[in-house]
Structure 1
């Protein structure tokens, strides 16, 4: 079983009335999510349901524990996929000492008995987004967890606020920044798609041009994000507030659009980033201690009830004590083993991404650093991709060769012509051609 992602959402300490009302709202949200999955008998301890996968059946288990100081609800949902793999969603909702914690993990196993590489592409459960809407004070570690929607920052002052947050040594979640190119992201749906995909694991911030340039001034070019680029900023070490220690990874507009020859670049990028962030969360997010505390108190309460009914020196009572003590020890050992297995299973993806981040850091001063001064030269062949349109011109980004051989003369492409002139500052090319094979926005070749 491969652990794919882990989420933990916590409240501050709540007064009794708010605690009970929030607990009720959360249990209703869990029931609604289960019903949406196809579970009909919501109060049952176990059961089967008709999966959304055609012709397949899923299974679920549910348990409830209540003690004097709190409550615990655990749900396990197992679903098959179209290719025969199995996905498991485990969730726990705890109410203990005035604090509510929601914990969820996603895991998967291969189809049948085989030794073969398999790629899993998990999605953020809709339940995470639903629960984020119920409270504004969810947090993980030192970071507040915002709702699953983009945060729009406009102007230089907003960039100062963003930098202050990025350099906070109490920040425990990454921040994904999406910059604009001529007033829009390179894909219109990009901020919304990322905020849905990364809900509960990363803030998604969209910044305008003024904020982008101020971010560059405050953090330096190697940690900048502008002209349609996307950059993810990881939390700083607890003992540092030095911008040079701010680890990040950037995807320039050129890099993203160069691979979008089939119109599926947005989906590929968001899927890849989602998987990478989830794998790191699987390594970093541990189960809340409240789960074990509630279970332990429940076991001791059961023992106390047994002691009240039996002779304290009876052999049966002694066996019960031994059983509970051994059971708790085994549960602790099992929990530790599960954590280690989860971390080991996610380590390959996380390590692969860590290597990418390091390479990106090394390349930030060269390949991945955005250069606004680059221009086309005589006898050069350059390629451009349209991101969106303005009333009088197309907004274009220079990209790598798309690799197609279906170039068509484009002498009447007025908006594209004006877009290239706006980007390069010149119109003295020898030939302008449009690719007949590329999808998802026009691709142009210019021979200067």
Structure 2
């Protein structure tokens, strides 16, 4: 646990004026990310939507009253820094626990200390890192202390609070969404790092752009890469690094992706909606993001099979065959070769005409079946393998459609007493246009035969 009472801030790069008037204070023994940690909220980069004077946290700080909050955002976007600065600006003692290493006993100690401070008029900000890792019972332990104001809770999480935090705790906290750092914010961090160290990174313009992309919105990771590049320069690297040289120095980072958490569902939703919206470029992008993040290709192809039936349907019946063929090809080839077959299926589905008429028709049929119970099929379409069944009228009057003049008998195949209503209503998209015309022709023949 970390405990800090309000005290004069230690200087950092973000001081308006440092001890020597430059605003720069260098302590090479500390990690670069720590040396560049802001000491003022107005110099935190990339989170103006929360920290500006007219934004939620800005208004809280101006009023001097801080509510319990959940900071939800990706790694390296400033959650811990913001929590520390909020405590400082509002005059609260900063207590920090990590859900990874702390249990209920640790929390009881924090709550007891906060209660003692409260008796002398001193408030406590309790910062809980990775709060989503506490189980439901542990989360419940916060409730009375948050409710009576013993602590102001600031929880940090990379996971969707709607899924990971219980409703009682969420109802007592405001959720603040932090953004991944954009290119402008990362560029500012890079400039500050070069200013603090007094060294320019020996990179080509293309390599500098690639470096920002490799950070993937994570400021802490960017500064870690800067340290690696400076170390390479110290080792005697000649000339500026190009993109390939940069990749040789920097260990590649796996994309942020967790197959069991929200990002998994976000990306499959993006893939699904891109195909539904007939955007093959976006669909390929989201497919690549998922596979590059370690998603099981067979999970993806199973979703494609469902999409072929649900979203394409009879507008292009070959879509189902295409996705099944992609599944088979991947199982035969494996990765990475088989992934091309999946990509082919994704493009096919994205560019195919769309119809959910079969999906809706089956839904209507399911509701009708539930409403009508266990009605028997009409006798004329029942087989009669025994004399008794023939005597009971099974199969009597059945017409074999291929032998009729029109190839269509017009018989009724629904149970007696069930009013005929359209269940499958084909669209005018793709192959369904012809199906709709055919069904209209048969309906006209049925009406004439009656």
Q: After TM superposition, is the score higher than 0.5?
A: no
- Larger strand percent: 1
- Larger helix percent: 2
Structure with bigger gyration radius: 2
